């Protein structure tokens, strides 16, 4: 795809580090994409998101199609201009949120119809409409419309769901509004079943995409099973294309997935946790609501370069959380995104220097004290 | 008071422009002080507050004494260090919020006891304790404890309330924890009665303060009556000391008060309105929740230098307000504080150039379209 390339600079076991180049800038991989659901990474100015080290953010098609509306975003000059993020944006297809957020949804061969959770109006999302919406938003990476197979599902359910997603992937590619530097990624489904994942990967390769996502994970199957699925799925993906694990995850999920060859991630965890007073640090996760921080003059994380850690005490952050001050969400989100970006930078460096296994072992010890609730 | 001076650079009618110098920096007057109730100007980083042009912020003794607690703030190095605002801070006495927010309050000669609205614990606030708390917070300008006379009040009620406040002013001065560059301001009470205001001013001058506030206004008496009170009160205040109109106000309240000789203001209006989607602009106030902004690609205020106006469309701000995004509060608060600081800068310049009356007439025309609700 012209204007969209992926160069692998180094590998370490199954892991790779490299650069995706788009017309709107480079994405260093492995990359973490902060989630900007409704055209804003919550509680952050976009220039601050960039300061954390993010090369790309994710926008949610479902939210944006309902409010402010894809045609309106296009009239305002596209999502990049509207939200003042001139760098790459990936949009999902909208399918996942329809199934998890919308009401009265009805799925058939053609697509899914549903009632908006915002105003109750009825919408339809088909592969063709998803491609149209993502083109109106103007994102750099589009995702095919798929059905995120629920967990648990019987093998028969997982198979027919995967096959529907593969038919939709074909229709998505046919309807894709190509533009310079714009890429459409396929999504592998198939639940926890090796032969279904293999068939799904083969079907997508047959259609041909510049990037491949692993979907249907982080939906309750647990980390061990998720890693199993990656172990038997990733080898079926083209080695020269970026691989994106959707909706993942906690730091140690990301580390394990990078070791299994994943290049891209997105997750609401750092931003949502930030708004709930939970911080990721080099000594594990910290719940700033906890009374033990009341008189603690130390920074949240002495090693961190973010404004929350450079400037404020844990006691002050605790106070802001207790007083439900907006500044609490602002500072802790900023910290968490910085933490995630520094995690990715460390992984990239370790892969480049061939010491990922050692690096991962050190990191995993840090996260042993992780007390954060799963999403 | 050593380290605390007030120099008047120019006058225009009753209005003055000058500089208050404290050990923590200069305050250009007429000055607007953003309100940092609980140790944060809501939805703003302190460096952004400074960028708007603020020389000084206000902290609320009532909120800070309850949470995180004055002794705790002192252990954390004082309010300036805790909230990362190295410039001047004014703290109120706590009295006003006790009467408006606390439960089961009981006022007698000694002071006021009340139940915390945070945790129900019982506290006492006396002139001596207010001085102690403000010293623990470490603010640059302290306010005497007074009783904000309710409106309406009979003349007898206003008189006895004022006399209590004058006895408390005397005790406040006696208990004041003097420090280099720290000043204690007196507060004139007396309701809407000229002879009571005159007696109150005389009593305060007899005690002697480096600055004088006009209290008991902006409590429902209306702008015309407020201006009346200023007309007959300000002439009784020492011309060489800063004059502070507490809790005021809307832009045209400020303009009228500056024309009557007031030097300092504070109000939650720009910050609270910012969180409610209401913006102050050079074309009057704008409710960004209104559907007429849905497709408007123009900036909120073409003349404004703030990030909201430089970067975003009204349509996007409207979207953020409707989606209840934190970024809406962040951007509109930033805009409103910039607007207020630019208003003050314009007033200072007009006074310096002897054209305040003309400038005020132009500004008042702008605010003619003001549709904001009174506080």
CATH number at residue A198: 3.20.20.105
* Same-domain status, A302 and A328: yes
Q: Which residues of chain B have pLDDT under 70?
A: 1, 368-375
In this structure, the answer to whether residues A140 and A243 fall within a common structural domain is: yes
Q: How far apart are alpha carbons A36 and A59 in whole angstroms? A: 5
Burial class (CB in 10 A: 0-12, 13-18, 19+), A287: middle
Q: How far is it, in rounded angstroms, from Cα B257 to Cα B218?
A: 12
pTM for the complete prediction?
0.97
Measured between CA atoms, the residue of chain A closest to residue B76 is A297
Q: Which of A213, A247, A266 is the last residue of a domain?
A: A266
Residue B176 located in a structural domain = yes
Element (H, E) at A103: strand A103-108
- Chain A and chain B share a number of CB contacts under 8 A equal to 96
Residue A335 to chain B, least CA–CA distance (Å) = 14
Q: Are residues A15 and A96 in the same domain?
A: yes
**Cα–Cα dist A72/B311, whole Å:** 18
Q: Tell me: the pLDDT tens digits for A46-88?
A: 999 999 999 999 999 999 999 999 999 999 999 999 999 999 9
Q: Are residues A244 and A330 in the same domain?
A: no
Whether B218 and B284 share a structural domain: no
Residues of chain A in contact with residue B327, where contact means CB-CB under 8 angstroms, are 40, 42-45
pLDDT tens digit string along A192-240?
999 999 999 999 999 999 999 999 999 999 999 999 999 999 999 999 9
Q: How many CA atoms lie within 13 A of B10 on its CB side?
A: 14
The number of C-alpha atoms within 13 Å of B44 and in the hemisphere containing its C-beta is 36
SS3 label, residue A289: coil
Can you give the pLDDT at residue A97? 92
Domain assignment of residue B374, yes or no: no
Q: What pLDDT score does B373 carry?
A: 37
Cβ <8 Å between B327 and A44: yes
Domain tally, chain A = 2
Q: For residue B125, what is the DSSP state? A: E
- What is the H or E stretch that residue A211 is in? strand A211-214
A305 part of a folded domain: yes
Question: Which pLDDT belongs to residue B104?
Answer: 83
| Sheet strand arrangement including B5-12 | B5-12, B15-22, B25-29
List the single residue in A76, A77, A326 with the smallest CB-CB distance to B43: A326
Domain boundary among B267, B300, B330: B267
CA nearest neighbour of B12 among B366, B346, B238:
B346
Strands B264-266 and B243-245: parallel
Q: Identify the pLDDT of residue B211.
A: 98
**Residues B214 and B314 reside in one and the same domain:** no
| DSSP state, residue A372 | P
Distance CA A53, CA A46 (A): 11
Ranges of residues in chain A with a pLDDT under 70 are 1, 368-375
**What does the DSSP assignment read for B50-114?**
HHHT-S-EEE-HHHHHHTT-HHHHHHTT-HHHHHT--S-EEE--SHHHHHHH-EEEEE-SS-EEE
Best mutation target, B42, B83, B316, to test chain A (most A CBs within 10 A):
B316
Nearest residue of chain B to residue A69 (CA atoms): B319
Residue A374 lies in a domain: no
Nearest by CB: A40 against B44, B315, B320: B320
pLDDT at B101: 87
Report d(CA B264, CA B32) in Å as an integer: 6
pLDDT, position B374? 34
Helices (H), chain A: 46-52, 61-66, 70-75, 79-83, 95-101, 127-137, 155-175, 194-207, 223-233, 251-259, 269-275, 307-311, 314-322, 326-352, 356-366
Is the CB of residue B54 less than 8 Å from the CB of residue B337? yes
Indicate whether A151 belongs to any domain.
yes
- Decide which of A216, A244, A266 is a domain's last residue: A266
Interchain pair A72, B294: CB under 8 A: yes
Mark whether A266 is an active-site residue: yes
* Judgement on whether residues A362 and A243 belong to the same structural domain of the protein: no
CA atoms within 13 A on the CB side of B25: 16
Q: Do residues B170 and B37 share a domain?
A: yes
- Decide the pairing of beta strands B211-214 and A25-29: unpaired
Phi/psi at A104 (nearest 5 deg)? 50, 40
CB atoms closer than 10 angstroms to residue A368: 8
**What pLDDT does A368 receive?**
65
Is B326's CB within 8 Å of A329's CB?
yes
**B103-107 and B112-115: which strand pairing?**
antiparallel
Write down the H helix ranges in chain B. 46-52, 61-66, 70-75, 79-83, 95-101, 127-137, 155-175, 194-207, 223-233, 251-259, 269-275, 307-311, 314-322, 326-352, 356-366
Name the residues of B annotated as catalytic.
92, 266
- Supply the pLDDT for residue B372: 43
Domain identity same for A86 and A207: yes
Same domain membership, residue A184 and residue A278: no
* Residue B339, CA distances (Å) to B53, B221, B249, B330, B359 in order: 10, 26, 13, 14, 16
Examine the domain organization and report whether A302 and A218 are in the same domain. Answer: no
Whether A50 has its CB under 8 Å from any CB of chain B: the answer is: no
Among A285, A325, A301, A305, residue whose Cα is nearest residue B83? A325
A119, part of any domain: yes
Structural domain span for residue A364: 274-369
The verdict on residue B375 lying in a domain is no
How are strands ordered across the β-sheet holding A211-214?
Answer: A31-34, A264-267, A243-245, A211-214, A183-188, A141-143, A89-91, A57-59
Residues 250-279 of B with CB under 8 A from A: 275
CB contact under 8 A, A316 and B82: yes
Q: Nearest-CA neighbor of A165 among A199, A211, A129, A124?
A: A199
Q: Are residues B49 and B190 in the same domain?
A: yes
The two beta strands, A243-245 and A264-267, are: parallel
Q: Least CB-CB distance to B75: which of A45, A83, A295?
A: A295
Nearest to B76 among A76, A84, A297 (CB): A297
To the nearest whole Å, the CA of B43 is away from the closest chain A CA by 5
Look up residue B158 and give its two tokens: 């206003």
Residue A375 lies in a domain: no
3-state helix, strand, coil in chain A (%, to 5): 45, 20, 35
Chain B nearest-CA distance from A303, in A, is 19
pLDDT score, position A374: 34
């Amino acid at each position: 795809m012209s204007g969209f390339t992926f160069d692998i600079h180094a590998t370490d076991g199954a892991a790779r580090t490299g650069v995706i180049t788009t017309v709107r800038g480079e994405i260093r991989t492995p990359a973490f994409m902060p989630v900007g659901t409704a055209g804003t990474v919550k509680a952050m100015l976009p220039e601050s998101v960039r300061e954390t080290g993010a090369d790309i953010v994710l926008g949610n098609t479902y939210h944006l199609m309902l409010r402010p509306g894809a045609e309106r975003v296009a009239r305002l000059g596209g999502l990049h201009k509207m939200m003042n993020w001139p760098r790459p944006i990936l949009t999902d297809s909208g399918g996942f949120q329809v199934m998890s957020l919308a009401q009265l949804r009805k799925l058939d061969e053609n697509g899914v119809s549903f009632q908006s959770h915002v105003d109750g109006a009825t919408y339809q999302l088909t592969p063709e409409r998803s491609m149209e919406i993502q083109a109106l938003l103007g994102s750099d990476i589009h995702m095919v419309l798929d059905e995120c197979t629920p967990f648990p599902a019987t093998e028969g359910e997982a198979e027919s769901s995967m096959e529907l997603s593969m038919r939709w992937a074909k229709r998505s590619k046919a309807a894709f509004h190509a533009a310079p530097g714009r890429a459409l990624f396929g999504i592998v489904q198939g639940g926890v079943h090796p032969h279904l994942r293999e068939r799904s990967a083969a079907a997508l390769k047959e259609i041909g995409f510049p990037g491949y996502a692993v979907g249907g994970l982080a939906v309750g199957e647990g980390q061990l099973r998720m890693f199993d699925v990656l172990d038997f799925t990733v080898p079926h993906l083209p080695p020269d294309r970026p691989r994106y694990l959707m909706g993942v995850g906690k730091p140690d999920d990301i580390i394990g997935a990078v070791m299994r060859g994943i290049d891209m991630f997105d997750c609401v965890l750092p931003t949502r946790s930030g708004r709930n007073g939970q911080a990721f640090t080099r000594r594990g996760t910290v719940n700033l609501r906890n009374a033990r921080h009341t008189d603690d003059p130390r920074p949240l994380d002495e090693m961190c370069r973010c404004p929350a850690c450079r400037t404020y005490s844990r006691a002050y952050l605790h106070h802001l959380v207790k007083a439900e001050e907006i500044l609490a969400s602002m500072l802790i989100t900023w910290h968490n995104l910085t933490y995630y970006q520094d995690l990715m930078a460390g992984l990239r460096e370790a892969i480049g220097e061939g010491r990922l296994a050692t690096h991962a072992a050190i990191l995993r010890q840090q996260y042993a004290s992780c007390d954060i609730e799963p999403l």
